Structure 1
Amino acid sequence: MTERSTPSRAVVRLVSLLLIVAVAGTGCSRVGKMFKKNKDADEGQPVEAIYEKAHKSMTNGNWASAELSFKRLVAQYPYGPYTEQALIETAYAQYKSGKHDDAISSIDRFIRTYPTHRNIAYLYYLRGLVNSSRDTVFLQKVWRLDVSRRDLATPMQAYNDFQIVVERYPNSRYAQDARKRMIVLRDTFARHELDVSLYYLRRTAYVAAADRAKYLLETYPQSGYQNDAVAVLMKSYEGLANPTLAADAKRVLQQNDAGHPALTGDWPDYPSNLRKLNPFAGERSAVDNRDKLEAKRAEQAGKGE
């Protein structure tokens, strides 16, 4: 009886390795085919079908999928009305998904390529919306920080975008809303100037406080903070021991806002320094305290009725 020969360990390992490689190769091939199938899902499809697919994704709020489909449409059909609309929709999808820098790039590229397009007013309006949101959404929603106390470069650009809509395309469907947004932004800029003037006032830098208050009144007339600016002037002139100018400012304030707390010495009501020790407290200023006081007075007046 002959003894059977057993395969060496080296041979067993080699066979096992070959099997693993074969299985892995098959799996990778399947994955690659699936990826290619997904990647080329719109390959060769009619432009109408791709647009409809992208539009459906937009309707469902699937902004990433919509953006991808619109880009595939543009890649396959670089010219035509569907392409132009796809470029516009791409910018909107990027805006809705929070990709603000990408949206601005898409909008600027469209404006350069189609400066006389029938929807050009919408592109400027959309750019205003994007710039209004850029660099501020996270700060507002998470940390409750006031936009007026942050860098105002992008809100200022948004104001310019809306101004283009209002001045160049006054009869467009976006002009009315652009005007309203400009008013809101003007108040944001005015509040920023008021915050700065109050900063100087608290540190007894009365000349600087008065200068910023006058700048607010001259640059943003009829803003929601014009009476506060007059109150800063009154306080600044009092600090500078100039009773004549202080009296003039007080007279103007009494005429325009007889109930302003500065007239009774209750304003500015600066937040406590202890608040700064709490990193989660959010920012407050004398402007915030003024708003709270006004709301309280309105509530008390309502109860009195």
Structure 2
Amino acid sequence: MKKILFLIVLVSTLLAGCSEYQKLLKSNDTNLKYKKAIVYYNEEQYVKAATLFEELIPVFRGTSKAETVSYYMAYSNYGMGDYITGGYYFRNFIKNFPDSPYAEECLYMSAYCYYKESPKPRLDQTSTQEAIDAFQLYINRYPNSSRIEEGNKLIDELQDKLVYKSYLSARNYFDREHYPSAIIALQNAIKDYPGSSYREELMFMLLESRFEYAVKSIDEKQNERFNLAKEEYFAFVDEFPQSKFKKSTDRMIKVIDAYFEKDKSAKEDN
């Protein structure tokens, strides 16, 4: 019996709440809507809050309440997990209220919304780069902020994702034995991220791609391509003399040297 009464009270309360909200939406009392929107926000009823704040933005434009409405609108969307819309409103806040005491916070939150939208490394990383750029803008603009340390950590995390994306793209060509494309992708990855933790593996794959491309080339192209593979070998062993790939690199240089010995003998015989 107590359980049934509890359910009746709960349903009645929900219906009353919905009825109150529907009446509020139809009301012309903008000040009441403003007060209730803040109440809904504080109760984490972000959808209701955002709906009311969106309606109030044009109403209070140019008034003392415009800044507050814009601020809460951004955070309501953020609270809903709509980071694209939230980010838009944070950036809009900065544009409309550049001198606000909340401008710094909103600039950071704009970057953080891009961060929240950053996908897994295998997917398109446009949001990741936008997040890095936005955090860097924040750091440049507010170098003494207490958020600098966190912002730098998030930039490092995002850059690691870009590095891994670059690695995966290059690795994909390499694994499929598309060596000309692999060579370009690997060179780009090494150039773009010279301090990458994948550098040794990337350079090894570049060497192996050069080597395999030479081995599988027609006779007229082999001399040039084996020369490139030999240059890549010396660059690799110079940087990683004790590499975990040493057995493989030793095998490749033996084949390369044997090719040039054979080529030299053939030229002498002619």
TM-score when normalising by structure 2: 0.66
Q: What does residue 253 of structure 1 align with?
A: 240
Deviation of 1:97 after TM superposition, in Å, equals 1.3
Distance 1:34 1:114, change over 3 A: closer
Q: 1:231 touches 1:250 (CA, 8 Å); kept in 2?
A: no
Deviations 1:42-100, CA, capped at 9 Å, x for gaps = 744496x447514422xxx3322332454466566445665423322321221231323
Match of 1:124 among 88, 91, 107: 107
Deviations 1:154-197, CA, capped at 9 Å, x for gaps = 21111111111112211123222121111111111111111111
Q: 1:165 touches 1:174 (CA, 8 Å); kept in 2?
A: no
Asked if 1:184 corresponds to 2:170, the answer is no
Distance 1:50 1:62, change over 3 A: closer
Q: What does residue 280 of structure 1 align with?
A: none
Q: What does residue 109 of structure 1 align with?
A: 92
Q: Secondary structure at the match of 1:148?
A: coil
Structure with the larger RCO, 1 or 2 (CA within 8 Å, 6+ apart): 1
Q: 2:41 touches 2:76 (CA, 8 Å); kept in 1?
A: no
- Paired residue type of 1:249: F
Q: 1:206 touches 1:237 (CA, 8 Å); kept in 2?
A: yes
Deviation of 1:201 after TM superposition, in Å, equals 1.4
Q: What does residue 42 of structure 2 align with?
A: 56
Distance 1:264 1:83, change over 3 A: farther
Q: Which moved more, 1:177-186 or 1:200-209?
A: 200-209
Which whole-Å CA distance do the structure 2 matches of 1:254 and 1:53 have between them? 66
Which whole-Å CA distance do the structure 1 matches of 2:117 and 2:159 have between them? 17
TM-score when normalising by structure 1: 0.59
User: Structure 2: where are the runs of 5+ without partners?
Assistant: 1-18, 215-225, 249-270
Asked if 1:212 corresponds to 2:185, the answer is yes
Greater fraction helix: 2
Which whole-Å CA distance do the structure 2 matches of 1:176 and 1:79 have between them? 36
Q: Which moved more, 1:124-133 or 1:148-157?
A: 124-133
Q: Secondary structure at the match of 2:202?
A: helix
Which whole-Å CA distance do the structure 1 matches of 2:64 and 2:144 have between them? 23
Asked if 1:160 corresponds to 2:133, the answer is yes
